[in-house]
Chain A
Amino acid sequence: MGARARYGFVVAAVLVAVLPLLLSNGYYQSVLVFIGINAIVALGLNLLMGYAGQISLGHAAFHAMGAYASGILTATYHVNPWLAMACSVVFASAVALVVGVPTLKLSGHYLAIATLGVGMIVSIVLVQWVSLTGGTSGLTDIPTLSVAGFPLNSDLRYYYLVWGVCLLLTLLSINLVNSRFGRALRAIHVSEVAAATCGVNVARLKLQVFVLSAAYAGLAGSLYAHYVHFISPERRFGFPFSIEAVVMVVLGGLGNIWGSLLGSGTVTALGEFLRQFGDYDVAAFGLILMLAMIFLPQGISGGLARITLRRRPAPTPAAPPQEVAHR
């Protein structure tokens, strides 16, 4: 990480530490927790979409796998919650591996279709496999996480857990894209043939990133389950959330790690705000997104970068989204 990125990270960490103390209202604190959980999903999906150039339309399914694996293991089988969380990450990753091996050998957008299918299957399983998932009535009594006997049972405590994890994953993601691995990823996004003739195993790399992004979504699902203590086949575990996650990544800025956090913050907060408009919230959401895409085609992070670049002499026209994260 360069000096500038390190500085940015410290600023973000301070902001994360102070923000909930300024917003002592429990509702706001819980919204911040959801922003953090969604940001973890968006971080993983951004590695896949913004760097490997592949789209997943079923990330809600991996999120659901994480949440339900944690929920079932702890509520039904009384497994230690941390162990259950680790299992849920492994489970989501393993399913991604099974889906990814045949589809990522092909170039093109086969992954998008395959993940769409996974999303549908998972939605149906959650409702129909009543003995395991609780069906439409869901799973209750998912226990609270605790650290060395100290329960994370308030919004504020859970906030620090979720955002600690989120910042850690942000750091790991930044490291990842600025390595040999990340350069190869960015290269296949531009030209798979050129990357392959440089010796990059394109199919394997895409598979690794896809599995990693599923692991992020699964971990976020587990964090969600232990926060709300009750999960059911809701919006969050179906197609709408898969799309929301894609929107977070695109709105935040494809190929910009910090953009995922901004995107999650914007989309999650906007969703909460628009709730008061009842059924019109979806329409309003769509309109805002359209405007954002017209005026901020490179996402929020790209827009911010353009403003800062404008102040410099000889700005590069139409700064591509990738360059921001690596400066």
Chain B
Amino acid sequence: MVDIAHGSTAPAAPPPPTRRRFLGLVAGGVATVAVGVAVAGDVYASGRGVFASGSGPAYAPWQEWDSGAAPVRLVNAGILAANAHNAQAWRFTVGPRRIEVYDDVSRSLGAVDAYRREIHISAGCAVENIALAAGAAGLVPTVTLAPGGDPALLARVDLVPAATTTSELYRAIPLRHTDRGAYQSDREVPADVVGGLDALADQRDVRVLWLLRPTERAAFSTLTVAATEAFIADAQQSRDDNSWYRSTSTEIQAHRDGVTPDAGGLSPMLRTLGKLMPATPASNNSYWLSGTRDRQLPTASGFGIMLVRDATDVAQRLGTGRLYQRMHLWATTKGLAMQPLNQIVERAERERVTGGDASIGRGLAALVGDPAWQPVMPFRIGYPTTAAPASPRRPVADVVVGAA
């Protein structure tokens, strides 16, 4: 045997059992274990969806939204609407000249949304997308909110053929995503942008209260952190909230709803950890509180609170959803990011349900400052630092339940 590697022609003797040889064996053993861990990590991470952010059938509706024939095509746009906890608590019936939107009462946020306020607002967001998509499909929509009869029937959209009109807001439908990440903290929202958002309101009983001055923002932030802490301390509310968290790729593709690590506004590495580590309610709550307190509130350029004359009125809630969706689409076209921050209203409602301490409710009333208007949906606005990810969606086949 010739030791070519070392240029020697001497016969190689079997290595003696030296300390060096022993250490070499130990190094080989350690390397073998490390390689096993690394490769097992690759396979495990693949299975947990670490490398599959925003892909798969659960995200297909974002690509297929303007395909197919009207009026089902309008529902494709409807299901991409903003909605609370991504619960998608909506059902549709579709006829040649009519789409009806129903409350899917089998899907609930429980103690998070005891009065189904957020579910109704979410349905209003879907109605707005449907109305925008109607124009692009050569149909003029006539929307009737809360038409009566069946209490689950939330809205009726009657459609009449007309010339095709594709609006800027319609084109923004697949680009709009709730942005839970940090915003550019040094950038204010210009007055003309706020004016543009206000100009989108077309109902007398729905409007936006803007909180843009530093003192107003600080008051809103303090109250939101207090509400988030109270929310987490409420076992029932926390449990119902956590039931909508989806952490693994398998869960996301199976349910196609809920809040995912990708859409949670976390940094890429924290997002990976969230997928690799088993999620617990305690860890979810901890990330939520720290994200709200340290990222979402301090970096927002401003806050808004959607107000209505009567917070129990279903039509006004639906109108709130229509306006919010319109505003978010318009904001998307201007490069702005938005995110609902509902903790204050959720806690105020919870205080009414439990009859306990009403401190959050009192704080909210003080923030609004006008008893003639009732708050139904706070949100934040600002300029994004990264592109907001899409959230999973159920297919149209799952939500169209019959003919209108």
Indicate, yes or no, whether A interacts with B.
no
